[in-house]
Protein backbone atom coordinates (compact mmCIF):
# COMPACT_ATOMS: atom_id res chain seq x y z
CA UNK A 1 0.00 0.00 0.00
CA UNK A 2 1.32 3.44 -0.91
CA UNK A 3 1.91 6.06 1.73
CA UNK A 4 -0.81 8.23 0.14
CA UNK A 5 -3.39 5.48 0.53
CA UNK A 6 -2.28 4.82 4.08
CA UNK A 7 -2.72 8.49 4.94
CA UNK A 8 -6.20 8.44 3.43
CA UNK A 9 -7.12 5.28 5.32
CA UNK A 10 -5.76 6.75 8.53
CA UNK A 11 -7.80 9.93 8.04
CA UNK A 12 -10.99 7.97 7.46
CA UNK A 13 -10.37 5.81 10.52
CA UNK A 14 -9.69 8.86 12.71
CA UNK A 15 -12.91 10.48 11.51
CA UNK A 16 -14.80 7.30 12.36
CA UNK A 17 -13.18 7.10 15.76
CA UNK A 18 -14.21 10.66 16.54
CA UNK A 19 -17.81 10.05 15.48
CA UNK A 20 -17.93 6.77 17.41
CA UNK A 21 -16.50 8.13 20.64
CA UNK A 22 -18.75 8.52 23.64
CA UNK A 23 -20.52 11.83 24.08
CA UNK A 24 -22.29 13.75 26.81
CA UNK A 25 -25.31 16.05 26.78
CA UNK A 26 -26.41 18.54 29.42
CA UNK A 27 -29.94 19.88 29.88
CA UNK A 28 -30.66 22.91 32.08
CA UNK A 29 -34.20 24.35 32.31
CA UNK A 30 -34.67 27.84 30.88
CA UNK A 31 -35.18 28.95 34.48
CA UNK A 32 -32.52 26.79 36.07
CA UNK A 33 -33.65 27.08 39.71
CA UNK A 34 -37.36 26.60 38.84
CA UNK A 35 -38.22 29.63 40.92
CA UNK A 36 -36.80 27.92 44.02
CA UNK A 37 -39.44 25.20 43.83
CA UNK A 38 -42.28 26.98 45.62
CA UNK A 39 -44.35 24.66 47.82
CA UNK A 40 -47.61 25.94 46.29
CA UNK A 41 -46.53 24.89 42.81
CA UNK A 42 -45.49 21.92 40.73
CA UNK A 43 -43.17 22.12 37.75
CA UNK A 44 -43.11 20.30 34.42
CA UNK A 45 -40.02 20.72 32.24
CA UNK A 46 -40.29 19.76 28.59
CA UNK A 47 -37.07 18.77 26.81
CA UNK A 48 -38.06 19.08 23.15
CA UNK A 49 -34.54 19.53 21.82
CA UNK A 50 -33.44 16.23 23.32
CA UNK A 51 -30.42 14.89 21.42
CA UNK A 52 -30.79 11.18 20.78
CA UNK A 53 -27.67 9.01 20.69
CA UNK A 54 -26.03 8.91 17.28
CA UNK A 55 -26.01 5.77 15.12
CA UNK A 56 -24.22 2.93 16.88
CA UNK A 57 -24.50 4.59 20.31
CA UNK A 58 -26.53 3.93 23.42
CA UNK A 59 -27.22 5.86 26.62
CA UNK A 60 -24.85 4.61 29.31
CA UNK A 61 -25.63 6.93 32.19
CA UNK A 62 -27.64 9.90 33.39
CA UNK A 63 -27.36 12.06 36.48
CA UNK A 64 -29.81 14.62 37.83
CA UNK A 65 -28.30 17.33 40.03
CA UNK A 66 -29.85 20.14 42.07
CA UNK A 67 -27.13 22.46 43.35
CA UNK A 68 -27.16 23.90 46.87
CA UNK A 69 -30.67 22.82 47.72
CA UNK A 70 -32.11 23.73 51.12
CA UNK A 71 -35.56 23.21 52.58
CA UNK A 72 -37.47 26.28 53.73
CA UNK A 73 -37.93 24.79 57.21
CA UNK A 74 -36.73 21.74 59.15
CA UNK A 75 -39.89 19.67 58.85
CA UNK A 76 -39.89 16.37 56.99
CA UNK A 77 -40.99 17.56 53.57
CA UNK A 78 -40.85 15.92 50.17
CA UNK A 79 -39.76 16.79 46.66
CA UNK A 80 -41.21 14.28 44.19
CA UNK A 81 -39.28 13.79 40.95
CA UNK A 82 -40.41 12.03 37.76
CA UNK A 83 -39.07 11.37 34.27
CA UNK A 84 -41.74 12.05 31.64
CA UNK A 85 -42.23 10.51 28.23
CA UNK A 86 -43.16 12.30 25.03
CA UNK A 87 -46.71 11.00 25.45
CA UNK A 88 -47.07 13.22 28.51
CA UNK A 89 -46.88 16.25 26.24
CA UNK A 90 -49.48 15.17 23.72
CA UNK A 91 -52.53 17.42 23.42
CA UNK A 92 -55.28 16.31 25.78
CA UNK A 93 -53.10 14.17 28.02
CA UNK A 94 -53.06 14.69 31.81
CA UNK A 95 -52.10 17.98 33.42
CA UNK A 96 -49.89 19.40 30.69
CA UNK A 97 -52.37 19.42 27.81
CA UNK A 98 -53.28 23.10 28.09
CA UNK A 99 -49.81 24.55 28.78
CA UNK A 100 -48.23 22.50 25.98
CA UNK A 101 -50.63 22.44 23.00
CA UNK A 102 -49.40 21.34 19.58
CA UNK A 103 -46.78 23.76 18.27
CA UNK A 104 -46.17 25.33 21.67
CA UNK A 105 -42.66 26.67 22.26
CA UNK A 106 -42.99 26.66 26.05
CA UNK A 107 -40.52 24.48 27.93
CA UNK A 108 -41.63 24.93 31.56
CA UNK A 109 -45.14 24.72 32.97
CA UNK A 110 -45.81 25.88 36.52
CA UNK A 111 -49.03 24.57 38.03
CA UNK A 112 -50.66 25.39 41.36
CA UNK A 113 -51.60 22.71 43.87
CA UNK A 114 -51.92 24.85 47.02
CA UNK A 115 -49.12 23.02 48.83
CA UNK A 116 -50.87 19.71 48.39
CA UNK A 117 -49.12 16.73 49.92
CA UNK A 118 -49.78 14.44 46.95
CA UNK A 119 -47.51 13.78 43.98
CA UNK A 120 -49.02 15.50 40.94
CA UNK A 121 -46.94 13.54 38.44
CA UNK A 122 -47.84 10.11 39.80
CA UNK A 123 -50.40 9.50 37.06
CA UNK A 124 -48.23 10.56 34.15
CA UNK A 125 -47.06 8.07 31.51
CA UNK A 126 -43.46 8.54 32.61
CA UNK A 127 -41.75 6.90 35.57
CA UNK A 128 -41.08 7.84 39.18
CA UNK A 129 -37.42 8.62 39.86
CA UNK A 130 -36.96 9.69 43.46
CA UNK A 131 -38.23 11.62 46.48
CA UNK A 132 -35.85 14.07 48.08
CA UNK A 133 -36.23 14.82 51.80
CA UNK A 134 -34.28 17.52 53.63
CA UNK A 135 -34.74 17.54 57.41
CA UNK A 136 -31.88 19.97 57.99
CA UNK A 137 -33.57 22.99 56.48
CA UNK A 138 -34.52 26.40 57.71
CA UNK A 139 -32.49 29.55 58.01
CA UNK A 140 -29.64 27.78 59.81
CA UNK A 141 -29.81 24.65 57.68
CA UNK A 142 -26.90 23.60 55.52
CA UNK A 143 -27.24 23.51 51.75
CA UNK A 144 -26.27 20.38 49.87
CA UNK A 145 -26.01 19.12 46.34
CA UNK A 146 -28.73 16.63 45.50
CA UNK A 147 -27.41 14.01 43.08
CA UNK A 148 -29.48 11.20 41.60
CA UNK A 149 -27.87 8.58 39.35
CA UNK A 150 -30.32 6.88 37.02
CA UNK A 151 -30.82 3.15 37.61
CA UNK A 152 -30.82 0.58 34.80
CA UNK A 153 -34.61 0.77 34.74
CA UNK A 154 -34.47 4.57 34.52
CA UNK A 155 -31.94 4.41 31.68
CA UNK A 156 -34.11 1.94 29.76
CA UNK A 157 -37.04 4.35 30.00
CA UNK A 158 -34.87 7.33 29.05
CA UNK A 159 -33.53 5.45 26.01
CA UNK A 160 -37.07 4.64 24.95
CA UNK A 161 -38.18 8.26 25.31
CA UNK A 162 -35.06 9.44 23.45
CA UNK A 163 -36.23 7.62 20.34
CA UNK A 164 -39.11 10.14 20.14
CA UNK A 165 -36.83 13.12 20.70
CA UNK A 166 -39.02 14.44 23.53
CA UNK A 167 -38.91 13.76 27.25
CA UNK A 168 -39.26 15.77 30.41
CA UNK A 169 -38.87 16.12 34.16
CA UNK A 170 -41.54 16.83 36.76
CA UNK A 171 -40.94 18.24 40.22
CA UNK A 172 -43.61 18.54 42.91
CA UNK A 173 -42.38 20.08 46.19
CA UNK A 174 -44.55 20.07 49.31
CA UNK A 175 -42.23 22.67 50.82
CA UNK A 176 -40.14 25.54 49.47
CA UNK A 177 -36.75 24.28 48.26
CA UNK A 178 -34.20 27.02 47.62
CA UNK A 179 -31.56 25.95 45.11
CA UNK A 180 -28.97 27.17 42.61
CA UNK A 181 -30.08 25.17 39.61
CA UNK A 182 -31.28 21.89 38.13
CA UNK A 183 -29.17 19.97 35.63
CA UNK A 184 -29.56 16.65 33.79
CA UNK A 185 -26.39 15.12 32.33
CA UNK A 186 -26.56 12.20 29.89
CA UNK A 187 -23.63 10.14 28.59
CA UNK A 188 -23.50 7.78 25.61
CA UNK A 189 -21.08 5.05 24.53
CA UNK A 190 -20.55 3.10 21.30
CA UNK A 191 -22.55 -0.11 21.11
CA UNK A 192 -20.66 -3.45 21.01
CA UNK A 193 -21.01 -3.79 17.23
CA UNK A 194 -19.41 -0.39 16.78
CA UNK A 195 -16.52 -1.39 19.03
CA UNK A 196 -15.92 -4.49 16.90
CA UNK A 197 -15.73 -2.34 13.78
CA UNK A 198 -13.23 -0.06 15.50
CA UNK A 199 -11.07 -3.00 16.53
CA UNK A 200 -11.09 -4.48 13.01
CA UNK A 201 -10.24 -1.10 11.53
CA UNK A 202 -7.28 -0.77 13.85
CA UNK A 203 -5.99 -4.23 12.94
CA UNK A 204 -6.37 -3.47 9.22
CA UNK A 205 -4.51 -0.19 9.55
CA UNK A 206 -1.71 -1.88 11.46
CA UNK A 207 -1.42 -4.62 8.85
CA UNK A 208 -1.43 -2.20 5.94
CA UNK A 209 1.22 0.00 7.55
CA UNK A 210 3.56 -2.97 7.58
CA UNK A 211 3.19 -3.38 3.82
CA UNK A 212 4.60 0.01 2.97
CA UNK A 213 7.90 -0.32 1.11
Residues 10-39: tens digit of each pLDDT: 444 444 444 455 688 889 998 999 999 998
Residues 135-164: tens digit of each pLDDT: 787 776 789 999 999 999 999 999 988 877
Residue 123's pLDDT is 73
Look at residue 202 and tell me if it is in a domain: no
Q: Are 62 and 155 in contact (CB under 8 A)?
A: yes
Look at residue 29 and tell me if it is in a domain: yes
Q: How many CB atoms lie within 10 A of CB 42?
A: 25
Look at residue 204 and tell me if it is in a domain: no
Look at residue 213 and tell me if it is in a domain: no
Look up the pTM and report it: 0.76
Residue 193's pLDDT is 42
Summary mean pLDDT of the chain: 76
Look at residue 157 and tell me if it is in a domain: yes
Residue 82's pLDDT is 95
What confidence tier does 128 reach under pLDDT thresholds 50, 70, 90?
very high
Look at residue 205 and tell me if it is in a domain: no
CATH of the domain at 124: 2.60.120
Range of the domain at 110: 19-191
Residue 92's pLDDT is 47
Q: Could you give the 3-state DSSP secondary structure of residue 57?
A: strand
Which one, of 124, 118, 117, lies nearest residue 167 by Cα?
A: 124
Q: Are 100 and 45 in contact (CB under 8 A)?
A: no
Q: How many domains does the chain have?
A: 1
Burial code of 157-187, b = ≥16 C-beta within 10 A, e = fewer? Answer: bbbebbeeebbbbbbbbbbbbebeebebebe
Look at residue 212 and tell me if it is in a domain: no
Amino acid sequence: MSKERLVLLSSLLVAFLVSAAGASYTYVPSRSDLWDLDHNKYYVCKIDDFTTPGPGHSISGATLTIDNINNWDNNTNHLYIHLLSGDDFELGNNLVSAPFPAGSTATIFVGTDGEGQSDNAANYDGIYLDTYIDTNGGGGGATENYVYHFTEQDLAALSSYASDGVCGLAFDPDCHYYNDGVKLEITTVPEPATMVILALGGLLLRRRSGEIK
